[in-house]
Chain A
Amino acid sequence: MLDSIKDFASEFFVTGDPLILGAQVSIAIAMVAILFVLSYFKKWGWLWREWLTTVDHKKIGIMYIICSILMLFRGGVDALLMRLQLAMPEMQFLEAEHYNQIFTTHGVIMILFMAMPLMFGLFNIVVPLQIGARDVAYPFLNALSFWLFFWGAMLFNVSFVIGGSPDAGWLAYPPLSGLTHSPGVGQNFYIWGIQISGIGSLATGINFIVTILKMRAPGMTLMKMPMFTWSVFSSCIIIIFAFPILTVTLALLFLDRFLGTHFFTLDAGGNPMMYINLIWMWGHPEVYIVVLPAFGIFSEIAATFSKKKLFGYKSMVFAMISISVFSFFTWAHHFFTMGSGADVNAFFAVTTMAIAIPTGVKVFNWLFTMFRGRITFTTPMMWMIAFIPCFVIGGMTGVLLSVAPADFQFHNSYFLIAHFHQVLIGGVAFGYFAGLYYWWPKMFGFKLNEHLGKWAFWFWNIGFYVCFMPQYVLGLDGMTRRMYTYDFDMGWGPLNLVSTIGGFMMGIGFIFQVWQIAYSIKKNQKDVTGDPWNGRTLEWSIPSPAPLYNFATLPQVEAVDDWWEKKQKREQGIAPPPAPPLEPIHMPKNSGIPFIKSLLWFFVGFGFVWGWLWMAIPALIGVGICMLVRQFSYDTDYYIPVSEVQKAEAQARGAAL
């Protein structure tokens, strides 16, 4: 009996690695500490009422952002472990298998559990405020999306202490990810973690398309929408076409592993190429999903901090939409070297480089937004400015990669690694950081410390170039991605060491950001204006943090930068039209179902990971019950009475005075 428990535990928990043991101990300590603090301060009820059951888009956005910062930490630690292992030739720091697990989880976490939630967090906080809405179109679905993401991410993250991490690469090509070559549970964690959170992402895409199309304030035609909202819209269009492909692909891979079907195995007529095509039909559009909102953020920031209208609004919109369409015609450039033949390669080479055209136009438009403006160097603006050279260089190396016959020399090398980190860090991460700094006062009612922010900025930026520029050279020198060690005589040692130093500089940048947040919370220099940056769009017209109902009366929109125009008019002494009388505000009620249902999905996933139908099937039934309960809940909304709105507004104004 004891022996069988021991056997089970040794399979269930990952043992034998001191690094992982340390992680296990710290996870246990952290959990005990959290439970203790919540109990000691009697915060369980508060946690449940205010956060776990909330359907308020602003709170959901904040939860997304907290999660993504935690995931940035974990993915960043993974990155630094890898860089340590590669710092010198023939390093003995990590075993081959452990290294493989780390780069796999690094990729998955950074794209799906860091970039995506940070993006969704900004969607949630900004879009309703920017379009003058009181909530998203489907608040309940929004909460469900968040909790699906959360529990999917948790499922993926427990793999490294329970059962073992996946190690077949972040896109898990079969046959390597099939049962024969990856017999452990790690690959199952991969499938279910991504599957559960991916369904949440799809729902978010639908939610925001409807929100943007149906919930805009009166007068805000499509061509008067702020550019960030446009970018969210184009990103969501890609989401609703790309994520179903991911869902199906992972489902088929799971069937291969669990039921022994042969979709992606060569024996019995399957084909791994099918998987590679499918996963990149999702995977390539995915990078545009995350980068388009960053473009939107930069457009807002460039205009605000140059005190000037965005240059070429129509071009920007057209460029964004054409990128979202074109993103679906480039996936085969990920396997130019699989012998598709010259016709296919030529086609995908040209479609890939064509994306550089609208992207290039956007860069020119940002430059001309700053041209003849008045640029102030706040932290968001500094990230915006640093983004331009970084993204332009990254984009250029992308164009080089799209030259199919030359790609034969770049593919799978560190040149490629340097390229995509440059566009993903220089574009996406810089963009979301800028957005976070920019909208932070709107979320929490206080600004982040600029001084510490600039330290973070310089460490990140210089660290970035020190880390990734050597990798371009290493790639051209024949160093391939995912190798856990290399020989002394390859001559790759010095550049790798430099790259590792750069990686740690970015790590220091991250520490500065955490310090900055902690310091600013402690200082809490309240933003009493609601408009600390002298903003241009509607979210700056209301108090910070935004009241529960966002807008006491819905704004009447007349121009692209409506809030800016109204401020200009007021300065010229033109009085704003009298506000219409307040009315009771229709709001959705909180619900525990999204949290409970997603937690049940976690158990469904966990059950299938281990092949425990006794866990998966009851949990699935529980999911069904949740759906039924929701189906028959009629008491899902309420009205905020005028008296309460008046009170809240007076309070906000009081704070402003």
Chain B
Amino acid sequence: MKSRKKVRRFIVPLLFVSILVLLSGCSESIRVLDPKGPIGESQKDLILISSLLCAIILVPVLALTAFIVYRYRDKPGNKAAYKPNWSHSTLMETIWWGIPVVIITILAIVTVKGTYDLEPSKPLDSEKKPLVIQATSLDWKWLFKYPEQGIATVNYIEIPEDVPIRFELTSDAPMNSFWIPELGGQMYTMSGMAMKLHLQADEPGEYYGSGANFSGEHFADMKFTVRATSEAEFNKWVESVKQTSPALTEEGYQQLAKPGKADVQYFSSFPEGLFERIVTKYVVEGDEGHAGHRQMTTEESPSSEPEQPKSDMSHEHAGH
């Protein structure tokens, strides 16, 4: 009986230790903790710094808990002090308020700095010109357009390594969230807005990407592969998509946008201004539109669009 109690007393601390071991042991294979790009790298550093700051409080508190519970247990012959009416100590309470204040202040400074540094709409420092990829979440698949290359894909991204990628994100379905854990944190995709997310891959490889925000029945199937290659290979890939794949027509897009799962697909071209039309789909005449809308790219001139069902809206909007 006695020994069983002793065993119990050590089970809880033991569990924590095993968790820590588990966490540290896995860090090499855990996607977020093994990033392959500068954004993911900075985020990992932040995670580690903040964990460390938290551990400064966590570890002593756990140790103190174990100590106090053991030391002051009600047991015949326990010689520890017993002061039933001792309930206030200004010095101690000042310390208890002081420690969290100091730690949280440091963490707040780190956080605020990190928030500005890692603001996802901020372009990355690089000598190379960023590659633009426009991502649209649909029910239940991802459509990626490369406006400069003129190609499009479904559920697949190929990028050159060491080149900053500017993702422009929107949705033509309930909102979702675009997340490639090994490259960096996620960003929501929402109708009527074009959000920006800058990421970069430092080394070639295949990375997992997914929709992170629940968007209905088959949202779990909204995953995609990101393949980072050398620039030469990337250009070769673009060429081969251009040569061998069908074009995405307006009707093709309407079909694609219907609810349903989809496999990986490649398109040698896509209707011009499609992304802009998706973003401005809900703009009402006379409305200024949503904040995100103003950040849109203007590389493609709306006036050159072919006549499309929704294009009158974007024409009008362009005229404002």
Contact = CB atoms under 8 A, between A and B. Distances in A.
Interface stretch (A372-380, A580-588, A627-635): A372-380
B118 interface: yes
DSSP majority for the A interface?
helix
Interface in A385-420: 385-386, 388-389, 392-393, 396, 399-400, 402-409, 411-413
B175 interface: yes
B78 A385 contact: no
B12 interface: yes
B202 to A, nearest CB: 17
B235 interface: no
B262 to A, nearest CB: 15
B74 A375 contact: yes
Interface stretch (A74-82, A145-153, A189-197, A481-489): A481-489
Given A306-B72, A339-B195, A346-B116, A403 B185 contact: no
Choose among B22, B87, B290 the residue with the greatest number of A CB atoms under 10 Å from its CB: B87
A472 interface: yes
A63 to B, nearest CB: 34
A544 interface: no
A385 B220 contact: no
Contacts of A168: 214, 216
B188 A338 contact: yes
A405 B111 contact: yes
Interface string B11-54: 11001100100110010011111000000101110110011001
Contact of A309 (B15, B86, B212): B86
A657 B73 CA distance: 32
A308 B74 contact: no
A486 B22 contact: no
Interface residues of A, number: 96
Given A268-B284, A361-B100, A405-B43, A339 B72 contact: no
Given A408-B120, A409-B43, A472-B23, A373 B84 contact: yes
Given A337-B185, A392-B62, A482-B219, A342 B50 contact: no
B114 interface: yes
Contacts of A15: none
A154 interface: no
Interface in B63-94: 64-65, 68-69, 72-74, 78, 80-89, 92-93
A365 B88 CA distance: 10
Contacts of B193: 339
Interface in A260-278: 266-269, 271-273
B47 A400 contact: yes
Interface in A304-341: 306-313, 315, 335, 337-339, 341
A474 to B, nearest CB: 9
Interface residues of B, number: 102
Interface in A354-368: 354, 356-357, 360-361, 363-365, 367-368
Contacts of B213: 412
A163 B92 CA distance: 59
Contacts, number: 284
Nearest to B73: A375
A372 B46 contact: no
Interface stretch (B125-133, B145-153, B176-184): B176-184
Contacts of B215: 176
A57 to B, nearest CB: 30
B210 A480 contact: yes
A350 B188 contact: no
B219 A483 contact: yes
B134 interface: no
A454 to B, nearest CB: 9
B65 A367 contact: yes
B50 A367 contact: no
A100 B12 contact: no
B234 interface: no
B318 interface: no
B51 A404 contact: no
A353 interface: yes
B115 A405 contact: yes
Contact of B181 (A169, A268, A473, A478): A478
B107 A353 contact: yes
A476 interface: yes
A360 B115 contact: no
A481 B214 contact: yes
Given A307-B84, A339-B120, A360-B96, 13 more contacts: A266-B192, A273-B190, A308-B82, A309-B84, A315-B97, A338-B190, A372-B82, A375-B72, A407-B185, A408-B120, A473-B30, A478-B32, A486-B220
16 contacts: A175-B191, A176-B216, A306-B72, A311-B87, A339-B193, A349-B112, A364-B96, A375-B73, A396-B55, A400-B54, A409-B43, A411-B177, A412-B186, A481-B212, A482-B220, A483-B219
